[in-house]
Amino acid sequence: MKKEVLGNCEPEETRVAILEDGHLAELLWERHALKGIVGNVYKGRVENVIPGISSAFVNIGYEKNAYLYITDVIRNSHNSPIDHLLKKGQEIMVQVAKEAIGTKGMKITMDLSIPGRYLVYMPFQEHVGVSKNIQEDAERDRLSSLVEKYLRSVLGSGGCIVRTEAEGAEEWELEREIKYLHRVWDSVRKKFDSLPSPCLLHQDLSLTLQVARDLLSEEIGIYLLDSKERYEEVVEFVEKLAPELLPRVKLYTAKTAIYEAFHVDPAIVAMRQSKISLPSGGTIVIQEAESLCAVDVNTGRFTGSKSQEETVTQTNLEAAQEIARQIRLRNIGGIIVIDFIDMRKASNRHRVVETLTNAVRRDRAKTRILPITRLGLVEMTRERKRESTMSLITEECPECNASGRVLSKESMLILIQREIRKLTRGKPGGSVRVLVKPAVAEVLRSHLQSFERNVHRAVRIQSDPSLNWEDYKIIIE
């Protein structure tokens, strides 16, 4: 598979698009005014400890306190209650695990992890783990023994996760990275001892550098950036981190905007659509809510050429592929419920779940898929560290109050008639002037005779484009 990474760097925001075979597969976003804080390490102060929900709320310097659950409190081997572990006013070192999403505050942990290119150092753990994507036993043993060796000699304590990128890495590369992680951790500890709470102890890399650290590999054909300043930062970073990958980092200098040239902008616009067409003619409908995301699969105009079971199965198989692509592209996390079309054969249901399982393997976020039910429902979860793309680029509709729907034209007609009768107390005579949205005005005019008969008055309808859909003005004359 051909993979390309495109960085669009502007004064207000940075966007990084990951293309697979020329199609947008993933979009990473960083608004500079609201810079992401996942991965940042803070010195926080415990504000409240609530045993009833085994949680604490910690002030790390933001308007809303961060949420700390008991399982994220380190050194709790005796399963002690949280009020035995933390006290109000206590200063603790924490790391942001999830950004604030909707009405929920940010989630933090005391089990820190400091990522590098090959390793993730965990100061409060004691084991060395190796990525399951490294499958050869000899290579796993080699990496584990080398990391264990330098972990004890350089850092003295702590644990590590060996990342997939470490496969084939030289001994000196691993040693260099462990020494780099040691310098970072040493700086964090010194700041914790000397600075007052709440304060920032360690900030994760900018988005363009995170991509260079976490994604740039032999699989990536090119990492193209349209900002000379960001390009030079990435070049300097890659020279130290993985100089063999430096030829893959390029500066985009063409006059046409980078996302326009690579047809990324239309794909971003299409993300706002709730209905997505499938190749055969079927459709999927994606509806995001704060607590979960519902996905509905429909056959649409696809009727197939054989049996109904085969038509339905074909639609579901296409939908499984597209759903995996869309939830990754839209960064939809949390609980996802998929309503596949009912299939009679258990073998077909198994094929659909297997197709979905295989499709989400490209996703870097952790997913868990449960078996399909007899009703055709599949429940799955996807790791959520940041808000979804839709939550980032949109806001609540002022006309529909975020419901996604407004009163129908007929409902507006009935509502206005009812309001006029209330204002006039049903007394006949005189005239009424009604100001509404143009589309609503058109319907009111088409029902003018019955309208006037129902309110017992002459009615004059006027259009006012400045009004919201459900707004109207009634003037008794």
Rounded CA gap, 375 and 342, in Å? 6
Query: 468, 437 in Cβ contact below 8 A?
Result: yes
Distance CA 406, CA 399 (A): 7
Please tell me the distance from the alpha carbon of residue 174 to that of residue 161, in angstroms, as a whole number.
12
* pTM, rounded to two decimals: 0.74
| Contact present, 347 and 312 (Cβ < 8 Å) | no
CA distances from 295 to 335, 383, 403 (A): 11, 17, 17
**Cβ-proximal residues to 97 (8 Å cutoff; 6+ apart), any chain:** 38, 72, 107, 108, 109, 385
Using DSSP's 3-state secondary structure scheme, residue 94 falls into strand
Q: How many angstroms separate the CA atoms of 274 and 286, rounded?
A: 5
Q: What is the pLDDT of residue 304?
A: 58
Total count of residues recorded for the chain:
477
| Residue ranges with strand state E in 376-457 | 377-382, 431-436
Any bridge partners for residue 294, and if so which?
Answer: 287, 337
Q: Extract the tokens encoding 116.
A: 């590098």
Identify the three-state secondary structure at position 56: strand
Q: Residue 275 is encoded by which pair of tokens?
A: 């209905």
Confidence (pLDDT) at 34 = 58
DSSP state of 33: G
Query: What pLDDT shows up at residue 404?
Result: 73
**β partners of residue 296:** 285, 339
As a whole number of Å, the CA-based R_g of the chain is: 29
Q: Which two tokens stand for residue 283?
A: 């459709």
Sign of CA dihedral 455, 460, 461, 462: negative
Q: So what's the pLDDT on residue 371? A: 86
pLDDT, residue 191, reads: 92
DSSP state of 246: G
Residues contacting residue 66 through CB under 8 Å, at least 6 positions apart? 44, 57, 58, 59, 60, 94, 96, 105, 106, 107, 108
Per-residue model confidence (pLDDT) at position 78: 59
Residue 327 and residue 337: Cα distance in Å, rounded? 12
Q: Give the amino acid at 334.
A: G
Token pair for residue 15? 């966007």
Q: Strand, helix or coil at 278?
A: coil
Give residue-wise pLDDT tens across range 417-432: 989 888 888 788 888 9
pLDDT in the model for residue 149: 85
Q: At what angle do helices 137-150 and 171-194 cross, to 10 degrees?
A: 40
Distance CA 6, CA 84 (A): 49
Residue 73: phi and psi, rounded to 5, are -95, 120
In angstroms, the CA 247 to CA 201 distance is 34
Extract the residue ranges of the chain whose pLDDT is less than 50.
none
d(CA 171, CA 341): 53
Residue 20, number of CB atoms within 10 A of its CB: 15
11: Cβ–Cβ under 8 A, 6 or more apart, which residues? 32
